Structure 1
Amino acid sequence: MTADDIDPSETTLEEWLDRLAEPHGAPGGGAACGVMTAIAAALLGMVASYTPDEPRARDAVRRLHEHRRAATEAAEDDGVRSAAFGAALAMDESPERERAIREATVEAIRSSLAIGVIAASLVGEARRLAEVSNPHVEADLKVALGALGAALDGVLVTARSDLATLTKHDDAGGSVGSSIRQQESTVAEVASARDSLRRLVAERTQRE
């Protein structure tokens, strides 16, 4: 594993946070969103495990474990993409630099939105668990919702920033136009999931 290839599942938390705090962006905000998504999945898994008498909760345990693994893998991949993005930006001004930035930005957007799609899938899991979960782990459920909301917000910030960069560095022929439209569609899906999560949080708050 190289310095720019940090796998959260095989790295101590302290080491990963130390790396995150350094000025190189690999890992960066996108990878942090992946880790927050994994944390949300793990907490939801715990809530489900504390509700063994409810079939919907039992069924969710396996899915949430898979979501958690997918999120940590996506976080690692995002760190790799961030390193490539940074390397492209550091190149000397040239047509090759512009092309490298476009290619790296497209990949960075894809990796961020891959995390967003995983996080979005957790919203449905959270809603199902909220209906049946053990009341003794209500606080843990709320922490999971908070982590998930932060992950979704972060993905949207990152993806929209990268889309703006991609538009800025598009060539005269508009070669990345179709990619931008496709990614904007996924951004809209992630935003819809974020809004659904906010409604769920508001519903839980009203019950207090």
Structure 2
Amino acid sequence: MRDEKISDFLTRLADRVPAPGGGAVAALHAAQAAALLGMVARYSTGERYAEHTLSIERIIIKTDELRFTALRLAEDDAAAFTAVTDAYKLPKDTEAAKAARSAAIAKALIGAGKPPAEVITVAQLAVELAEELLPIGNRNVITDIAAATEAARAAATTARVNVEINLGGIKDEQARAELATEVAKVDDIVARAERITAAVREEIGK
């Protein structure tokens, strides 16, 4: 996926195929958020920003890591969703086959919940970095901090529904609890993203 042309990816996304779907889109939102923050950080280097050099360098490293993580999660999500559809296609003509199919579905649903749950974490980290970058970043690209947080918010809210759709079929209580914990982070991510965007809009409106 990481080497695919955008137009080719969008064609696959629009096609009647199980994957890629919303989970991959959520991960790509997160990747774009990280990339935008990395760009702002790179525009915030040099003598003018010398007092923030260590913070900016750390943000650059961290946003690059998040970008690559999010791309991996886009690929993981597509693979995990395919595993779910494959599990539902298993035979159920005997009791043994039914039991094996049910077990495969249960395992696949847990697997499908994990990539979007990790995307929520990436989105949270992106918002945290945006909060740190906002007061020290290059004011000429401050709107890109808002754009990044909006992308992170979209990543989190999109990932949330992709976790929730899998939660309905997961019976393992520990797995359900772990996924639910990630989902619970989203409202805070949204609120923090809104505050960042509001602060940017207030500044550019002066």
TM-score (norm 1): 0.85
How far did residue 92 of structure 1 move? Answer: 4.6
Aligned to 2:95: none
How far did residue 203 of structure 1 move? Answer: 3.1
Structure 2 residue 77 is the aligned partner of structure 1 residue 78 = yes
Measure the CA separation in 1 of the matches of 2:202 and 2:166: 36
Answer with 1 or 2: which has the greater Rg. Answer: 2
Measure the CA separation in 2 of the matches of 1:31 and 1:191: 21
Aligned to 1:11: 4
Change (3 A) 1:139 1:200: closer
Structure 2 residue 120 is the aligned partner of structure 1 residue 116 = yes
Cα deviation digits, residues 144-197 of structure 1 (max 9, x gap): 12211111110111111211232xxx3xxxxx1121112111221344323322
Q: 1:1-208 counterparts in 2 under 5 A? A: 7=1, 9-52=2-45, 53=49, 54-55=52-53, 56-93=55-92, 94-166=98-170, 170=171, 176-207=172-203, 208=205
Contact 2:142 2:200 in 1 (8 A): no
Amino acid in the other structure paired with 1:78: D
How far did residue 120 of structure 1 move? Answer: 1.1
Amino acid in the other structure paired with 1:87: D
How far did residue 200 of structure 1 move? Answer: 2.3
SS in 2 for 1:132: coil
Measure the CA separation in 2 of the matches of 1:43 and 1:143: 8
Amino acid in the other structure paired with 1:146: E
Measure the CA separation in 1 of the matches of 2:56 and 2:141: 13
Amino acid in the other structure paired with 1:16: F
Cα deviation digits, residues 83-140 of structure 1 (max 9, x gap): 1012123345533332222111100111111111111111110111111111111222
Aligned to 1:173: none
TM-score (norm 2): 0.86
Amino acid in the other structure paired with 1:77: D
Measure the CA separation in 1 of the matches of 2:161 and 2:106: 19
Contact 1:20 1:28 in 2 (8 A): yes
Measure the CA separation in 2 of the matches of 1:14 and 1:178: 40
RMSD value, Cα: 1.7
Taking only the aligned residue pairs, the percentage that are identical comes to 27
Contact 1:120 1:194 in 2 (8 A): no
Cα deviation digits, residues 12-50 of structure 1 (max 9, x gap): 111111111122231111111111111111111001111
Cα deviation digits, residues 27-74 of structure 1 (max 9, x gap): 111111111111111111001111112322233111111111111011
SS in 2 for 1:51: coil
Count of residue pairs the alignment pairs up: 193
Amino acid in the other structure paired with 1:106: I
